[in-house]
Structure 1
Amino acid sequence: MIGRGEAMAQLQFGVIGHKGRMGQALEQAIDEARHSMCIGVDAGGNVGPLAGQCDVLVDFSAPDALSQNLGAARVAGIPIVVGTTGLGEEHFVMLAEAARTIPVLQSGNFSAGVTLLAHLVREAAARLGPDWDIEVLEMHHRLKVDAPSGTAKLLGEAAAEARGIELSANMESGRHGQTGARGQGNIGFATLRGGTVAGEHSVIFAGPEERLTLSHSAENRMIFARGAVKAACWLIGKPAGRYTMNNVLGL
């Protein structure tokens, strides 16, 4: 394993969820970056006994496995990057607790472009008044199981943070039938699924007689895998705490 004081050479990655789409992309990205995958764990597997062989864990598995995976990283005393989507409030409590003893980097999206998009959304939401309605539109492939996507929520959180509101209390999604007028100050979400779309996200600011749209298109999920590998390399040697892709990009 690589110590904090050593030059960063070849790192040993533990990939949780390595047989999934993102896991396969991660394996390729790790190889491209000239690092190695020391272990790969999937549903039903236990990363705990093997985590000590790794420099860093990267988790793209399922929400119900997060507690076990964080525990393995804590016992091994190594950083963990979490890209699992569909997390609830209880999972964020787990992340905060783990970050007291190890470096934890969690994100709904590891693309540099999406990270910058969230930054721009935050800037726009802070500067445009409450008469500008905010809507988040996303589309993914037909096999995606959670909605809205982790990226859509990341963008919604950026807008909500800029306006000083809680997203969970000001979120509109799944509109159908006689919904009534749009809630003043709410952030809307629309979800599309189909084909093999890697990821399309737009944040629409709809003001009086004008609109501003900020968008990002992912052409291949390798951008997320490469971003996660970059984040993992960056996380090595950092003190215990919570980190995001903003930290990696210096935003």
Structure 2
Amino acid sequence: MSPSDAPVRIAIAGASGRMGQELIAAVLQNPAVQLVGAFDRAGSPSLGQDAGVTSGQHTSVAITADVAQALHNAQVFIDFTRPEGTFQHLEAARTLGVKAVIGTTGFSDEEKTRIAEFAAQNAIVFAPNMSVGVNVTFKLLELAAKALSTGYDIEVIEAHHRHKVDAPSGTALKMGEVLAEALGRDLKDCAVYERYGHTGERDPSTIGFSTIRGGDIVGDHTVLFAGTGERIEISHKSSSRAGYAQGSVRAATFLQRQSTGLFDMFDVLGLRD
């Protein structure tokens, strides 16, 4: 087997969490990749346990709080944690020359610039949603926005589980960015995130956002194009986190061919114009 055919060696951040366990399951199911590290925050009750603890699979990889130890044999790490944790992991990865797939959301514009700086040394795939289906949806939204640029009001509606801490979701914001760019606008200037009281008539140049939080909703996103006499809705609904995990593994294999640079799922899936 040539080096290019060898499985991509992957470490998982937040390994004991729901998404971490989904990522581990996806890695174990894919012969193109190999699990070599798993790490979580200090104090996690899963430290020292096998990384397949939730799925009941034996991996011979123990969950550790030592990021450097988890990354020492990895080529790529996948991170769906929190911004502050992701930056700590990136610092360790930079020292060790490990690439990154970042699905963490809630970054500020300044923090996104910092991620781009890391990518100048080690290649990174950074996207608010790693699902293949969601990214195809982004492309459909781009096409729809261009065709429905006049005479249609645009609203983004998203729903997630009660535990999600940021709103609107990173996916909803990315949808807004895709829509705004297709319309030749800047989302910062046209987004409306709240409506209350006497708001006056709707400004047709705006893009509205509605957020729902409740139960165990994995992630539902709908963009409504409301015209006169008709409505067009483009939706993506997730029934599990498996799609996010599978897309992340696909992104990790994409990075095998990259040394530096900041990429997103459009690059991974060949959707870039």
What's the TM-score once normalised by structure 2's chain length? 0.85
1:109 equivalent to 2:129? Answer yes
Q: Which residue of structure 2 aligns with residue 29 of structure 1?
A: 26
Q: How does 1:50-65 map to 2 (within 5 A)?
A: 50-65=70-85
Q: Which residue of structure 1 aligns with residue 176 of structure 2?
A: 156
What's the TM-score once normalised by structure 1's chain length? 0.92
**2: CA distance, partners of 1:48 / 1:167:** 38
List gaps (5 residues or longer) in structure 1.
none
Q: Once the two structures are superposed, what CA deviation does each residue of 1:132-166 show, in whole Å capped at 9, x if it has no partner?
A: 21111111122222111111111111101111222
The structure-2 alpha-carbon separation of the partners of 1:88 and 1:46, relative to structure 1 and needing over 3 Å to count, comes to farther
**1: CA distance, partners of 2:202 / 2:5:** 52
Q: Once the two structures are superposed, what CA deviation does each residue of 1:107-149 show, in whole Å capped at 9, x if it has no partner?
A: 1111111101000101111222243211111111222221111
**2: CA distance, partners of 1:46 / 1:130:** 54
1:118 pairs with one of 138, 148, 165? 138
**1: CA distance, partners of 2:93 / 2:228:** 50
List gaps (5 residues or longer) in structure 2.
43-64
Q: How does 1:140-151 map to 2 (within 5 A)?
A: 140-151=160-171
Q: Which residue of structure 2 aligns with residue 77 of structure 1?
A: 97
**Cα pair 1:66 1:91 within 8 Å, conserved:** no
**2: CA distance, partners of 1:46 / 1:86:** 24
In structure 2, what residue type is equivalent to 1:120?
L
- SS in structure 2 at match of 1:7: helix
The structure-2 alpha-carbon separation of the partners of 1:50 and 1:25, relative to structure 1 and needing over 3 Å to count, comes to closer
**Cα pair 1:234 1:248 within 8 Å, conserved:** yes
**1: CA distance, partners of 2:66 / 2:85:** 9
**2: CA distance, partners of 1:93 / 1:119:** 24
Alignment length, in residue pairs? 248
Q: Once the two structures are superposed, what CA deviation does each residue of 1:69-126 show, in whole Å capped at 9, x if it has no partner?
A: 2222222222100000111112211111112111110111111111010001011112
**1: CA distance, partners of 2:216 / 2:256:** 34
Greater mean alpha carbon deviation, residues 130-139 or residues 40-49? 40-49
Q: Which residue of structure 2 aligns with residue 241 of structure 1?
A: 261
Give the fraction of aligned pairs with identical amino acids, expressed as a percent: 39
**1: CA distance, partners of 2:83 / 2:260:** 22
Structure 1 residue ranges (4+ consecutive) displaced by more than 6 angstroms after TM superposition: none
Over aligned residues, Cα RMSD in angstroms?
1.8
Q: Which residue of structure 2 aligns with residue 40 of structure 1?
A: 38
State which structure, 1 or 2, has the greater radius of gyration over its C-alpha atoms. 2
**Cα pair 2:152 2:204 within 8 Å, conserved:** no
Greater mean alpha carbon deviation, residues 115-124 or residues 60-69? 60-69
**1: CA distance, partners of 2:193 / 2:174:** 15
